[in-house]
Amino acid sequence: MAQFTVNPGRVDPYKGFKFRVKWDGKYVAGVDKISALKRTTEVVDHREGGDPSTTHKSPGMTKYDAITLERGVTHDTEFETWANKVWNRDAPRGAESALAAFRKDVVIELLNEAGQVVLAYQVLRAWPSEYQALPDLDAGANAVAFERIVLQHEGWRRDTAVNAVARSALRRGRAHARRSRTRDRHDPLRRDEAPQGARGSQPRRHAALGP
C-alpha cells in the first residue's frame, strides 16, 4: 500500500470540516464555509497548414476562481468592514474607496482531527467584489442567517513551512521512539517490568525458601 511522504503512519486523507481563515494577522470568527481553491489554464489550439486534420494544444492564460466565504450573522463586522473599503456609500465624495487598503493577503489553514495545522494556503491580493449582509428571510424557515463575501484575487500558493514543521515533528517523534527502545534494551529494570508476553518470555521464578 502506498504511504504518505510526510507522515507515513497516516492512512486516512484529511477531512474538510476543520479549518481557519485569517487576514490582517488575526483569525476571523465564525466562518462556516469556504469555496474551493481552483485555477484553470485555458487551452490554445493551433495548427500549421501542412499538418494533418488535427490541432496542437498549448497552455494559454491561467485564471483563478473567486473564493466565497460564509458565516452566520453576528455583531462581528469583519466582513462588512472589508467590503466597505472597496465601496462605502456613506463616505465623503472622493473617499468611497480605500485604494491603499482594500487588498489583503488571506491565509486559509486546514486542520487535522487533533486541531493541528497540516496545510496552509496564502491567497494573494484579495479584495471583496460581492458582499451579502443578510440572506433571504423567511418567517417559516428554521435556519441560520448567513452573511457572505466573495473575494477576487491574483492567485494562491501553499505555505511550505507548514510541511516543514510536520516533517520536523515526525522526526522528533521517531527519534523519541528510538531512544525509548534503546533505553528498554539496555535497562534491566525496564526489561523486568515489561508485561508478560511483551518480551516473549515467562516471568522469573524464584526458588522457594526452606523452613
HEC per residue, 85-139: HHCCCCCCCCCCCCCCCCCEEEEEEEECCCCCEEEEEEEEEEEEEEEECCCCCCC
pTM greater than 0.85 (yes/no): no
Torsion angle of alpha carbons 129, 154, 31, 14, nearest 10°? 150
Return the SS3 of 186: helix
Return the SS3 of 81: helix
- DSSP annotation of 33 reads E
Residue 55: Cβ within 10 Å count: 13
Q: What share of the chain is helix, strand, coil (3-state, %, to 5)?
A: 20, 30, 50
On the question of pLDDT at 87 being above 80, the answer is yes
Query: Using an 8 Å Cβ cutoff, are 23 and 104 in contact?
Result: yes
Q: Which of 31, 60, 55, 37 is nearest to 155 (CA)?
A: 37
On the question of pLDDT at 55 being above 70, the answer is yes
Q: What is the pLDDT of residues 103-154, one digit of tens each?
A: 999 999 999 998 999 999 999 999 999 999 999 999 999 999 999 999 999 9
